[in-house]
Amino acid sequence: MFLAKVVIFRRVNCNFAGAYYKSILFKMRKLLFFVVLGLLPQIVLAQGSWSHHLRVDAAAVGAVGDQLPFWLHSGREGRWDFAEEQQLLAGVGGGLQWTPGEHWRLAVAGEGRYGGAEGGAYLHALSFQADAYFLSLRVGRHVFDPIFEAGYKGHGAYLYGNNARPADRLTVGLPAYTALPGFLSRWEVKGELSHALLDDGPADKYHREVLLHEKYAYLRYNGGTWKPFVGLNHSVLMGGYRTNGEKIPLDYWRSILGRSSEKIGGGDATNAGGAHMGLFDFGLYLHSTSGTYRFYYQAPFADGSGMRLGVRNRDQILGVHWQPARLTWLDNLSVEWINTAYQSGNGMPDARVTLNNGETISVIAFQLDDPAYRENLMRGLGVPNPESYSKKEVGQYLEDNYNHGNRFGGRDGYMSNGVYPAGWTHYGRAMGSPLNLSRDQVAHLNPELGTSNSTLLVNDRFKALHLGADGRLGTRWYWEGMLTAARHYGSYFQQYPERYTWDETPGYYFKGGRSQFYSRLGARCRSSRIQGLVWKLEVAVDAGALSRSAGCLGGLSFSF
């Protein structure tokens, strides 16, 4: 097991550092193996507490209609196939934990599955974790879902999250809020760095040796009953291969810092190396006699224009998560409004113009700072008195004549990227909000939606209102429910397939929006006769323009 973890560590870092580090990592692997082997007897016999858990489960789903209902497959780490209406899934999972002291913990956890989305046997998760005081290190195949705490019943974190299968990762940092020392003790911080390898298929559909770097940092003020916070989340795709088989140069540090990269070239030389997604997170924790609340305002962004909150970025996730203190039947309630339809507007990302000599060029905003460039540009466009135009006047001319009066820098394309057609997905599922729909999820509506090669996600613009809750009825029964009303607007990548044009896809399916309703209601019951046995049943219904289906999930889980 330990060797398997070191192999994962070695594979990821070799991509980061290059051939020079391969020999060093090989020597480190041998050294660590023999150190652990020599210490193993002492660890087993050492003082401290041991604990373990083991779970065996089995479930079946059945549905009628277009596909498996949305909330039967979404938010479940990609275990179920949305296209198959009858499926069986069995699994075994468990973990072992050793706590040698108050501030130290070592643990290993894994999960194997058979059936479901894979159809056969596969290793779903396997990771090693070491905690020391406030620090944590995880290595292996594990979920990275740090934005919300346990009990959250929202539609899913917009970035990161538990909708896709776990990736092979190395994650290190402070996963829980930790008070600063001394007179700054009322200020608390948390944050982690996570490096992953995405290698889930050919580059024209999924990822081929793509590196994923993710990080987050939060600052919170502990005011007792109220705790305001601010956070920033960042995710970068880099390296890998283009759809034509060409290797993409890797400029690691400039990519993770969002700096331009001459090494990568192309658009990365003037913008930022790699493909980027981010999320601002502002909010407040409130403790009162009625319970604990988390209020939050989140804003996703994909580039510099999207970082201008309230100016170019008008998208948001507004929500509240409530854990009641006095209601015996309700444990968690989450209410969310999600709007990602604007994406810095529908104006072209940059100006693309054809000069009088027939040459077509792209005009980047910073180039207009140069008076000589402005004059040559306006002369090439045949404008009288080309030397008289200021930067603002040139920009206004380009907007009026080439962008239908809209500002440039729009059509951001959340969770998608032109260099990486699969975007922020893993094995075909969005690594974040499940309301970002793939072409396979909507292929039954229009064959053209399922054959597009520009991006895997064909719906990243939507507005939705979501309600989620769970609770207990007595000592043995548990219930939960999910309701989502959404309007889907597709994707700028699909609506304007050439990106730098106002020519739309003929008969674009999502133009004007398509309404959809998703729902799920479930119950679990702990057996009164067999300790550790839990039965579960869920029913789900979808209705609207995207899918009409109904289904149920039934199964059991045995823990010991």
Tell me the C-alpha distance between 521 and 456, whole Å: 30
Q: DSSP 3-state assignment of 368? A: helix
In which band, very low, low, confident or very high, does the pLDDT at 33 lie, cut at 50, 70 and 90? Answer: very low
Tell me the C-alpha distance between 400 and 404, whole Å: 6
For the chain, percent of residues with pLDDT exceeding 90: 73
For 397-409, what is the mean pLDDT? 92
Asked whether residue 88 carries a pLDDT value surpassing 60, the answer given is yes
For 531-544, what is the mean pLDDT? 97
Contact 524, 477 (CB under 8 A): yes
Asked whether residue 53 carries a pLDDT value surpassing 50, the answer given is yes
DSSP 158-193: SBS-SSS--EEEEEEEEEEEEEPSGGGTTEEEEEEE
Tell me the C-alpha distance between 76 and 553, whole Å: 13
Question: How confident is the model over 163-192, as pLDDT tens digits?
Answer: 999 999 999 999 999 999 999 999 999 999
Question: How confident is the model over 369-402, as pLDDT tens digits?
Answer: 999 999 999 999 999 999 899 999 999 999 999 9
Q: Domain 51-341+419-559's class?
A: mainly beta
Mean model confidence pLDDT for the chain: 89
Question: How confident is the model over 103-160, as pLDDT tens digits?
Answer: 899 999 999 999 999 989 999 999 999 999 999 999 999 999 999 999 999 999 999 9
3-state helix vs strand vs coil in the chain, percent to 5: 20, 45, 40
Residues 6+ apart with CB under 8 A from 507: none
Beta bridge partners, 174, equal 191
Please report, for the chain, the start and end positions of each structural domain, with discontinuous segments joined by +. 1-46, 51-341+419-559, 351-402
pLDDT of residue 44: 52
Which is more confidently placed, 2 or 345? Answer: 345
Question: How confident is the model over 237-272, as pLDDT tens digits?
Answer: 999 999 889 999 999 999 999 888 888 988 888 888
CB environment 26-42: b (16+ within 10 A), e (fewer): eeebeeeeeeeeeeeee
For 309-331, what is the mean pLDDT? 94
Residue 448 DSSP label? G
End-to-end CA distance of the chain: 22
Beta bridge partners, 386, equal none
Contact 457, 416 (CB under 8 A): yes
pLDDT of residue 26: 43
- pTM exceeds 0.85 for this model: yes
Pairing of β 461-473 and β 167-179: unpaired
Name the nearest CA neighbour of 85 among 60, 71, 69, 68. Answer: 68
